[in-house]
A and B are shown apart, each in its own frame.
Chain A
């Protein structure tokens, strides 16, 4: 079974600064998907960014980018120019590519991101 580990329960950053959230995972599969989800106080889960394991290029979505290190099984999220609206819980998640086995996402325990004005 796959596991996802987020080693930072809480992070704090000054507004407009850059912050990196860590995520490591364990899998024996060679092809899979990785995600970062944001959960603000409303508790609505919002997809931030997605990475396909077969793609070497790191995914980028505006101020959000990832550092995907497949050999190290590491998938960190970098938030540039942090804004007050970025304050939330951030979850790293893993999903197998289809073709058998359980469907659904495997989540880490989350990192609580605080933005200091």
Chain B
């Protein structure tokens, strides 16, 4: 089945540690995105990538880093510089950037808790 997978579902981190969230898609989509969701808030864009080996900062990129070495993978690293990393993280993809086929498909999310 085609879709987006995120792992792990739940992740716990000690303060000062970096942690990497996985996002994989087998939809052959060009564009991928990372969003953060806090209680009572909508989703906010962290980073996005329109093609392999290229990515751009979103609205709240500070304290996060990404890579896009393969079309199907877009991992997100939450660094120790992120002051309040406890949140729900959602990965999404769309067939191509700027296309009329612009529906974003979402993964199931990762809940990150800093202890």
Contact = CB atoms under 8 A, between A and B. Distances in A.
Contact of A103 (B40, B42, B44, B56): B56
Contacts of B43: 45, 91, 93, 105, 107
Nearest to B105: A47
Contact of B58 (A33, A44, A47, A104): A104
A102 interface: yes
Interface of A: 4, 6, 9, 33, 35, 42-47, 50, 52, 91, 93, 95, 97-99, 102-110
Interface of B: 31, 33, 35, 40-45, 48, 50, 56, 58-59, 88, 90, 92, 97-100, 102-106, 108-109
28 contacts: A4-B42, A9-B40, A33-B102, A35-B103, A42-B108, A43-B88, A44-B106, A45-B43, A46-B106, A47-B105, A91-B43, A93-B42, A93-B43, A97-B98, A98-B99, A102-B48, A102-B59, A103-B31, A103-B56, A103-B98, A104-B58, A105-B33, A105-B35, A105-B43, A105-B45, A109-B40, A109-B42, A110-B41
Given A93-B43, A104-B48, 20 more contacts: A4-B42, A6-B42, A45-B90, A52-B100, A91-B42, A91-B43, A95-B102, A99-B98, A102-B58, A102-B59, A103-B31, A103-B33, A103-B48, A103-B50, A103-B56, A104-B33, A104-B35, A104-B45, A107-B42, A107-B44
